[in-house]
Structure 1
Amino acid sequence: MNRPRKLLTQNREMKAIGVWNWTLPAWAGRLPDGRTYNTCPSAGICAQACYARHGTYTWPVVKAKHEANLTFLLDDPTGWENTMRTELAAPKFRGGWIRIHDSGDFFTDSYLTAWLRICHARPDTKFYCYTKEVDRFRRLVEPDPPRNFLWVYSYGGTQDNALDPDVDRVADVFPRQRRDRRRRMEFPR
């Protein structure tokens, strides 16, 4: 298996604010070995306009990195989790922020649960994400969230009707379509 050398990366903008990133391929596709995937099972209209399906995300080296991340995760979930925990043990991550997914989402219960274990194992690192997996988060995260994990529900998915902008932390990538929704974020993008 071709495992990524490093799991966490930084682009120029994230580096400027000290944020590291973990990413997967956006939405649905086919891996080089022929397997199909859908890393955004609750995507709605956002799948049509997704920034992570255009531009630099389509460059061969970037696409290959995202696919290698997903392949490692799918083929060896325990090895992926252990590797992520080990990488996060480096001093440079203490007190820092990790953005989980600038593309992709928590596509299974077991994958989200692995991230929750990682958050608990690294209490000196802060984690955040945007997600359309409302039901999954209501069941697995909201009852007892790790103190170092923040999330924003993102409009544009199939579970928008379950969101309450007066209660939930929400972001709206299509604000002209929903002028009555508020965008509330309390941590770096």
Structure 2
Amino acid sequence: MRLWRLEEAERLVNSELAQGLAETWASCADEKCLADSPYDPALVGVGRWWLSPFTIGNRKLGEIPFYSLPPVATCPGATPFCIRWCYAVYEIANWRAHVREAASYLLSLRDDFPDIVQRFLRRLPHRTVRLHVSGDFYSVEYLEKWAEVARREPSRVFYTYTKSFGLVRRVEAPRNLVIHLSADPHNYLEAVETWRGLRRGLVTYVYTPGAERRDFEVLRYILENTEARILLFLNHVQHAPRLRISAAHMWRRLKEALGPLAGRVVLDPEEFAGAPQCSLCQLCYRAYI
């Protein structure tokens, strides 16, 4: 595992750079204020692809703004599967992205976080926002802050995938804060229990080439014990087994292993077929628009 990524996250959270960046975001109300700060535009968030802590899309999402935190350190529900396979731990992003995650965490600790976030959201035309390309809900208080933002912005949809099952069971999220449960071989029993309590959202699962028997057994258990649909991702981090898997081949294997239950499994189109991006697929949020 790239331990340096986790160690770096802790170091950056305590850095003067991240602290100063968070203070700048908290005090600025528009792009001019951000541009007049002493920070690089791509760091402070000014330009075509940023606005303060929000990054405007990536290769997978398309043009959907997202808000991210440092990986694992902000993930109380992290499992051994996360530690081994989390793409946010293994990705090699530029240093600015890592600093921005640390500053976003510091910003989220503030009592006025919903006010700050809403101030910048109102300068974005996008109606869909992704939470946590990296990171997760790390406390009830933090989750409640996003629930408050969603209540204030009823015309927007905020969606995310989480392993913080214990936290989401304790917060009454508004309908436009769409929370999908992220299951893996270590937490799927708790994911099933949590979905039964919430009865909303998808259950996601990461298929790992070479672990087909285990993964199909887990998928069957989830499908037999919930009415949820499963969104299946492909384990594609750098050290995962590099097997070429077509969507057609995967569908055949799912039908052979799961029978009629396979009808409730959806393959992530971008990861299995290369298209479309999330902004076009909209599976994870279109029912709430």
Relative to the length of structure 2, the TM-score reads 0.53
Alpha-carbon separation, structure 2, partners of 1:103 and 1:152: 15
Is 2:74 the partner of 1:39? Answer: yes
Matched, 1:110 2:141: yes
For residue 81 of structure 1, the aligned residue among 106, 114, 120 is: 114
Residues 40 and 99 (structure 1 numbering): CA distance in 2 closer, same or farther, change over 3 Å? same
Does 2:114 correspond to 1:68? no
Runs (4+) of structure 1 moved beyond 6 Å?
A: none
Q: Which amino acid aligns with 1:163?
A: A
**What residue in structure 2 maps to residue 50 of structure 1?**
86
- Counterparts of 2:95 and 2:166, CA distance in 1: 34
Distance apart, 1:135 and its partner CA:
1.8
Give the match's secondary structure for 1:78: coil
Q: How far did residue 174 of structure 1 move?
A: 3.9
Distance 1:91 1:25 in 2: 23
Corresponding position: 1:7 with 2:7:
no
Structure showing greater radius of gyration is 2
Cα distance between partner residues in 2 of 1:81 and 1:160 = 32
Higher helix share: 2
Selected match of 1:140 from 171, 191, 194: 171
Q: Distance in 2 between matches of 1:178 and 1:160?
A: 11
Q: Which amino acid aligns with 1:11?
A: G
Change (3 A) 1:109 1:15: closer
CA-based RMSD of the aligned residues comes to: 2.4
Code of the residue aligned with 2:215 in structure 1: it is R
Partner of 1:97: 128
1:157-172 equivalence runs, <5 A: 159-164=187-192, 169-172=202-205
Q: Which has the higher contact order (CA 8 A, sep 6+)?
A: 1
Partner of 1:20: 65
- The answer to whether the Cα contact below 8 Å between 1:42 and 1:157 also exists between their aligned partners in 2 is no
Report the Cα distance in structure 2 between the residues aligned to 1:157 and 1:131, rounded to whole angstroms: 15
Q: Matches of 2:143 and 2:61 in 1, distance apart? A: 25
Long gaps (5+) in structure 1: 28-37
Match of 1:154 in 2: 182
Distance 1:178 1:14 in 2: 24
**Alpha-carbon contact 2:66-2:130 (below 8 Å) kept:** yes
Uncovered stretches (5+) of structure 2, i.e. residues with no partner: 1-18, 26-43, 45-51, 224-229, 232-265, 267-282
**Deviation (angstroms), 1:61:** 1.7
**8 Å CA contact retained: 2:67, 2:132:** yes
Give the total of aligned pairs: 169
Normalised by the length of structure 1, the TM-score is 0.78
1:14–1:20 Cα contact (<8 Å) kept: no
Say which is worse superposed, 154-163 or 111-120, in terms of deviation: 154-163
Q: Which residue of 2 aligns with 1:119?
A: 150
